[in-house]
Amino acid sequence: MMITKTKRVIKISQLVNPHFKKLWSTQRPYIIAKGGRGSFKSSTISLKLLTMLKKQAQLGHKANVVCIRENTVNLRDSVYGQICWAIDMLNMTDEFKYSVSPMRITHISSGSAFYFYGGDKPEKLKSNTIQNVIALWYEEAANFKSAEVFDQTNPTFIRQKSPWVNQVKVFYSYNPPRNPYDWINEWIAIQEQNPQCYVDTSTYLDDQLGITQEQQLALIETYKKNDPEYYKWLYLGKIIGLGTNVYNMNLFHPLTKLFDDDPLVNLYFSIDAGHINSATTCLAIGVTAEGKVILLHTYYYSPEHQSRKKAPSDMVPEIKSFEDSMDYQVPIGKRTIDSAEGALRNEFVKEYNQVWHGVAKSDEATMIDYVSSLLAQGRVYYLDTPENQIFIKQHEQYQWDEKTVHSDNPKVVKENDHTCDAFKYFAIDNARKLELKIDPHINAKVKLFKRGI
């Protein structure tokens, strides 16, 4: 008896929401997909790019697709993984070979490939010699420094168009920044008037196929309940503005004691170090089994009005003693400090052979978003003790500088913000552990393709 293998039939209509029908079929060369998180715009673009490349390969043509993020370090966990996901969803895994140095995904039989680049290395983009280009994708376009990156890069790859296509399709995808004066919000207003450009706006509410998981929908409802304005920006893609106060203080929940039914599982320490006339603080933060974040204790030293200022050699033993006094019987996660602070870090190594991890800082609005995300999920608590009041007071006073709010690079008022900075450093440095900034399209899908490379 002869056994015949049946081919798995995949319908694009089962993977791409009806909302994106026009985006999928438009003849315009420039396609912009903007909107809230979890709307599947990146998923749709990755599937579209794969089908474009596959069609050319089936015709015996070599075709290349270029994918760009604002920074090289973000490629592998975002756009590279997204293309891998699309390949897996269309059951083409064995048709490609995968490498990360150089970062490339190559169609084995045709030699066609997906190339991945960071916008932080414009010299590589401008001097690129890839031929037979059929498409270009700027993922997280709002994170690029300015539209100048597009203006300089697009001509390079359009010149290298495949002879088998009429045009190089240029895709942009991003979540709108909340600041109405951000450069991309001004750029998109111009593009909406451009007859060569198709602009699509989507949200998670456009998911007619039921791809979004119940757990993700429950999380979105938590955001909606706790911080409606943040929800409008994050998930509806609304440009809500910055306001003046950075945080909604109603989302910092006081406690008189720890939870009986949700024990601490890890302890973290985070330092913002001052200099001659600036304070130094160390936060002791506990994370519970259910993911609640609790400020337990605050070390705070201000040199103001002190005739003799403390040196690093004075403060390090005090901070070490502060840490040793935390008798919670749980493992210590990370010890985090401002990456620009060398004196305290060196003193900790010299005196205690203890290494504090320097946080990877970015622009102010992005760093604040990590804390805003925690707050909007209703996960931030503090023990309502005298020593923690400085933390609450400084967060109440934490404000955007009104002179910069109407710019594309807003700043905060840099006064009495030491505990605010320390809390941001904790959230950023432990983002993966706290499940912050995880791509929502990954959360909402069955799986992300992994190949162990």
Residue 352 to residues 73, 280, 327, 359: CA-CA distances in angstroms? 32, 19, 19, 20
Q: What is the mean pLDDT of residues 34-59?
A: 95
Query: Who's near 5: CB < 8 A, 6+ residues apart?
Result: none
CA nearest to 374, candidates 295, 443, 304, 259: 295
On the question of pLDDT at 206 being above 90, the answer is yes
**Assigned token pair, 88:** 């897996």
Label residues 243-256 b or e (16+ Cβ within 10 Å = b).
Answer: eeebbbeebbeebe
| Domain range list for the chain | 12-212, 249-434
Q: What is the mean pLDDT of residues 368-396?
A: 94
3-state SS class at 320: helix
CA nearest to 289, candidates 265, 260, 259: 265
* pLDDT, mean over the chain: 88
Round to whole Å and give the CA distance between 158 and 138.
14
> How many percent of the chain have pLDDT more than 70?
91
pLDDT band at 440; cut points 50, 70, 90:
very low
CATH 3.20.20.60 corresponds to the domain 12-212: no
Q: Of the ranges 125-129, 221-225, 341-345, which one carries the lowest mean pLDDT score?
A: 125-129
> How many percent of the chain have pLDDT more than 90?
68
CATH of range 249-434; options 3.30.420.280, 3.30.700.30, 3.40.50.970, 3.90.1010.10? 3.30.420.280
The two counts, helices (H) then strands (E), for the chain are: 16, 15
Between 207 and 449, the higher pLDDT residue = 207
Label residues 93-126 b or e (16+ Cβ within 10 Å = b).
Answer: eeebebeeeebbbbbeebebbbbbbbbeebeebe
**Tens digits of residue pLDDT in 59-98:** 999 999 999 998 888 788 889 999 999 999 999 999 999 9
pLDDT band at 448; cut points 50, 70, 90:
very low
Round to whole Å and give the CA distance between 241 and 114.
37
Q: What is the mean pLDDT of residues 372-382?
A: 95
What pLDDT was estimated at residue 3? Answer: 54
**Tens digits of residue pLDDT in 96-126:** 999 988 899 999 999 999 999 988 766 667 6
The count of C-alpha atoms lying within 13 angstroms of the C-alpha of 409, restricted to the half-sphere facing its C-beta, is: 5
Round to whole Å and give the CA distance between 55 and 162.
13
What pLDDT was estimated at residue 54? Answer: 96
